[in-house]
Structure 1
Amino acid sequence: MAEYDFDLIIIGSGAAGLTIASGAAQLGVKVLLIEKEKQMGGDCLHYGCVPSKTLIKCAKVRHQMTNADSYGLPTPNLDPVDFAKVAAHIQSVIDTIQPHDSPERFEGLGATVRFGTASFRDPHTISLEPPEGGTPEHISGKTIVIAAGSTPSKPPFKGLDQVDYLTNETVFSQKTLPKTLTVIGGGPIAVEMAQSFQRLGSQVTLLQRSAHILSKEDTDMAEVVETSLRKDGVTIVTNTSIKEISQHDDQISVTCGTKGDSSQTVTSEKLLVALGRAPAVEALNLKNTGVEYSKKGIPVDEKMRTNVPHIYAVGDITGKYQFTHAAGYEGGIVIANAVFKMPRKADYTLLPWVTYSDPELASIGYNEKRAQQADIKYTVHTESFAFNDRALAENQPEGKLKLLQDQKGRIIGVQIAGIHAGELINEWVAILGGKVSLSTLAGAIHPYPTVSEINKKVAGTILSKKVFSPFTRKVLRTLFKYRGRA
């Protein structure tokens, strides 16, 4: 049997890589964790979840201050936003979290951490190039996990490579707030950034190729968010196709085609391209391994294995679900299969996700679009936040909860567009994962007044159609001689 330098080599220290390194090292596995950047934590900590949610909070506070009169409060005289201070605040949050993902912590758990660029020399050997350059080191591993993440997508728009545009990797570190900003894209990142910069004081135009933003969501739920963005002042142009991008002095122009083949040009100080992320497969030299891959990512089976059994791939690199919580979950699947040698398959049926706009949009299971694509017959039940006392007290009555049941009455999905939707969806994670009945939810005591009462209310509304039916009244009238309305 061949002797390897390490039992397990992990390429990438994002959510998936850190989950695997921590678990495997504590179980006595000889682990090498490789990170190409100067710091560990991956895109989520440095360019994604953490900086974006910090910016969103900054923008929301500013928005509340400028709309103080809606709460019966005097509107303060506010100075323009100094984005350098906002960027410094964002960095301070990253710095606070960074020690949790430090080399010292993971080496303390038993892992070896090395920095540099990793590529495959053969199916069991990694070539590690030091950060400062020099002669690469060759390191062998019995099992290898590719968790190298993704990079911002670079669409082939005419002229894009000739302009200085922003991505999610550069937008948070700007020194000044752009007076005008064009955002290309209509997904979660585009929507979150468009609303945040508008609230901070930029004039934002969002260009979306589909008929509505958040095109993977049901139209009625996406409209809740779209209405909020328009109310904030964001100009949203849908059904667009980008024809050309050019830069003149300090202005960037985007010429796009719109419905009816007409065209318009949007000019702004800054351009943010937010059209998703591409799996970072190019630098890995996967051709030396026999691992199948494409620009869409590395395909894996339900155990997160590539077509080469001892090589696994997890997180954004697979091109599947580009969420931090999905990557962490996949890391657990790898530990079960690669370390414990116990077969465990990934199941994304109840994978939740959230768009952190204001209001938020959260989802778990099937929405109407996905149910229709799967040819599932369903019924829809909704509850409005306009009838939730806490939402009214918070002055955020917009939005609704939508629940889908199949023909057997089983809950197959829940979508929430409204205040604290990202927190409210967690109750449904437990309900659906634990197969909790609607009657249990309806009978559970929820504190009053809380936004989470909307979960209890939709369950009660569904059950009440059976409890308060004409048949039930007839039975009770017969048994107990009640004289009320038949």
Structure 2
Amino acid sequence: MEQIETDVCVIGAGSGGLSVAYAASQMGARTVLIERGRMGGDCLNYGCVPSKALIASAKATWGQAHSGVFGIASVTPQIDYAAIKDHIAGVIGAIAPIDSQERYESLGVRVIREHARFVSDRELQAGEVRIRARRFVVAAGSSPLVPPIPGLNETPYLTNETIFDLREKPEHLIVVGGGPIGVELAQAHVRLGCKVTLIEGAKALGKDDPELSVIVLDRLRDEGVDLREGSEVSRVSGSAGAVEVETKDGRKVGGTHLLMAVGRSANVDGLDLEKAGVKFGRKGLEVGDDLRTTNRRIYAVGDIAGRMQFTHVAGYHAGVVVRPILLGVRARATQDHLPWVTYADPELAQVGLTEEQARGTYGDRLTVVRFRYAENDRAQAERRTTGLIKVMVVRGRPVGASIVGASAGELIGTWSLAIANKLKMRAISNMVAPYPTLSEINKRAAGAYFSPALFDNPRLKRAVRLVQRLLP
């Protein structure tokens, strides 16, 4: 058995693990990276990348069928589902070399493609290799949550890890779960000509501002998605090509394919964390704000850290832990400035507090400012006028922003920057946005915060009239 002593050992080659391994190796630390599956993790192979590539195909299809408003004859798209999957594979293939074993080995990282399990508080086993490290970073990610629904184990179903392997278009896709994954894949498939039923036990997009999320959900309904909220699944049954879902209200729906999109489960099984003295639960490892576990030598980043489960959060976590691990500098992870986006059409983005959360925290000190997409000239030019922005402001500082509309995921970054750096609304209003761009929406929202003081102020108006009389 081979014995390795190293400075940093990373478990998991997803976004967070790759970022830690890259930083550690480039800053001179001896680094070992362990990955039992595909390099790049869930995001590259089963999540963000393939889903956004699928959404791009669906958007192109939608554009062909709805181009009449631009003076171009609409056509019935000819959809080649297998070719769409080739497109997705091509996108993954273009990105894969950046995350590849060969690249990381060229950077000096020892890459081991085995399952990792702890054997003591500072050693782990990976295949025939025993690794002893000064510090460990667990970045093992998460997997699709499979709930204990009666009949599910006997019924064929898909998850985000298997749906992109389909080569034939589903005739009728039943999606269970109305979160971002379920909503995105439901809309994409209905645009690609599938019949789609989306079942959610509570409220679809329930973590987002309901005033904004309803705009997205109404669009799904308009496009043909049979959306059933408040319908908890009680049983599933069937075989390949013929599945049936029954809900507790007694309704049944039959389809050809079943997609389970009810959440994520941290990949804690098989790591033997108990042997390392690391406490954990269903949501992941127990960590402090410094992302250190109950074993001072072991940190956790990304989905398995039990916090927000997004690729960009894993990357952020990596930046937090490399400071104490490599430089001995204290660092802590916060969440106030971390955005999330549902890449439906229109997009739905959030950072910081929603209006409801902000009112519960700040009460009468809260000011909510709004600006509609319909008042933006670029949105008008491109016929993308559905949407609005809401910014929650306390004493001149934004504490949250909610956006629904075209490119909401791009626009939300400004508010993440403002919250992270404790900027005031004045900083956003002072920004000069090029015309005509959707980015003017952010500036106009900031301007709306100051408008009452400027334009609804009798004293200011009297002062201006006085100045006008005194000016030569």
Q: TM-score range by the shorter chain?
A: over 0.9
Which residue among 131, 139, 146 is the counterpart of 1:139? Answer: 131
Pairing of 1:102-121 with structure 2 (within 5 A): 102-121=100-119
Equivalent residue for 1:313, pick from 277, 293, 300: 300
| The one of 177, 185, 199 aligned to 2:177 | 185
* Per-residue Cα deviation, 1:159-192 (whole angstroms, up to 9, x for no partner): 1111110000011110111010110111100000
Shift of 1:430: 2.6
Distance between the aligned counterparts of 2:166 and 2:357, measured in 1? 38
How far is 1:224 from its partner?
1.2
In structure 2, distance between residues paired with 1:47 and 1:249: 22
User: In the aligned structure 1, how far is the partner of 2:387 from the partner of 2:215?
Assistant: 6
SS of equivalent residue, structure 1 residue 122: coil
Please, what is the CA RMSD of the aligned residues? 1.7
Deviation at 1:249, TM superposition (A): 5.8
470-479 or 154-163, larger mean C-alpha shift: 470-479
Q: How does 1:407-422 map to 2 (within 5 A)?
A: 408-422=395-409
SS of equivalent to 1:272? strand
After the TM superposition, which residues 468-479 of structure 1 pair with which residues of structure 2 at under 5 Å, given as runs?
Answer: 468=455, 469-479=457-467
Indicate yes or no: 2:69 matched with 1:70: yes
Q: Give the deviation of 1:479 after TM superposition.
A: 4.2
Instruction: Name the counterpart of 1:401.
Output: 389
Q: 1:151 maps to which residue?
A: 143
Q: Which ranges in structure 2 are unaligned for 5 or more consecutive residues?
A: none
**Residue 216 of structure 1 aligns with which residue?**
207
Q: Tell me the equivalent position of 2:33.
A: 33
Give the partner amino acid of 2:218.
Answer: T
Alignment map for 1:65-464 (pairs within 5 Å): 65-79=64-78, 81-129=79-127, 136-210=128-202, 212-248=203-239, 250-257=241-248, 262-374=249-361, 376-377=363-364, 378-406=366-394, 408-464=395-451
* Partner in structure 2 of residue 133 of structure 1: none
Structure 1 Cα separation of the partners of residues 73 and 469 of structure 2 = 60
Judge conservation of contact 2:388–2:403 (CA < 8 Å) in 1.
yes
Query: Partners in 1 of 2:453 and 2:76 — Cα distance?
Result: 55
| Paired residues of 1:199 and 1:232 also in contact (CA < 8 A) | yes
Residues 337 and 352 in structure 2, CA contact (< 8 A), matched pair in contact too: yes
Equivalence for 1:48? 47
Question: Counterpart of 1:283 in 2: which secondary structure?
Answer: coil
The residue matched to 2:345 in structure 1 has which SS? coil
Consecutive aligned runs of 4 or more in structure 1 exceeding 6 Å deviation: none
Q: State how far apart, in whole Å, the 1-side matches of 2:280 and 2:55 are.
A: 35
The question of whether the paired residues in 1 share the 8 Å contact of 2:283 and 2:306 is answered with yes
Name whichever of 111-120 and 433-442 sits farther off. Answer: 433-442
Residue 127 to residue 4, structure 1, CA distance change in 2 (3 Å): closer
> How many pairs align?
467
Q: Cα distance, 1:213 vs. partner? A: 1.5
For 2:118 and 2:469, the matched residues in 1 are separated by 81
Give the secondary structure class of the aligned counterpart of 2:134.
Answer: strand
Deviation at 1:296, TM superposition (A): 1.6
Contact 1:144–1:310 (CA<8 Å) still a contact in 2? yes
Cα pair distance change 1:24/1:255, threshold 3 Å = same
Q: What is the aligned partner in structure 1 of residue 18 from structure 2?
A: 18
- Partner residue of 1:132? none
The aligned residue for residue 8 of structure 1 is: 8
Distance 1:343 1:441 in 2: 31
Give the partner amino acid of 1:86.
I
Question: Helix, strand or coil for the counterpart of 1:204?
Answer: strand
Aligned-partner SS, 1:5: strand
Are 1:4 and 1:142, in contact at CA under 8 Å, matched by a contact in 2? Answer: no
Residues 65-90 of structure 1: CA deviation (Å, up to 9, x unaligned): 111223221122433x2221111110
Q: From the superposition, tell whether residues 276 and 482 of structure 1 become closer, same or farther in structure 2 (CA, over 3 Å).
A: farther
Task: Identify unmatched segments of 5+ residues in structure 1.
Answer: 130-135
1:157 and 1:77 mapped to 2: Cα distance?
39
TM superposition shift of 1:427 = 1.9
Distance 1:142 1:388, change over 3 A: same
Corresponding residue SS for 1:10: strand
**1:249 to 1:29, Cα distance in 2 relative to 1, 3 A:** closer
Q: Does the aligned pair in 1 maintain the 2:336–2:419 contact within 8 Å?
A: no
How far is 1:443 from its partner?
3.4
Letter in 2 for 1:311: I
Percent identity (aligned) = 39
Counterpart AA for 1:11? I
Distance 2:21 2:276 in 1: 22
Return the offset for 1:201. Answer: 0.6
User: 1:449-484: CA deviations, max 9, x gaps?
Assistant: 11111111112222121112111012223444389x
For residues 17 and 436 of structure 2, what CA distance do their matches in structure 1 show?
41
What displacement does 1:229 show? Answer: 0.7
Give the counterpart letter for 1:35 in structure 2. Answer: E
- Give the whole-Å Cα distance in 2 for the aligned partners of 1:191 and 1:249: 23
Deviations 1:298-356 (A, max 9, x none): 01111110011001111111221111111011111111011111001111111111111
- Post-superposition offset of 1:200: 0.5
| TM-score of the pair, normalised by structure 2 | 0.96
* SS of residue matched to 1:426: helix
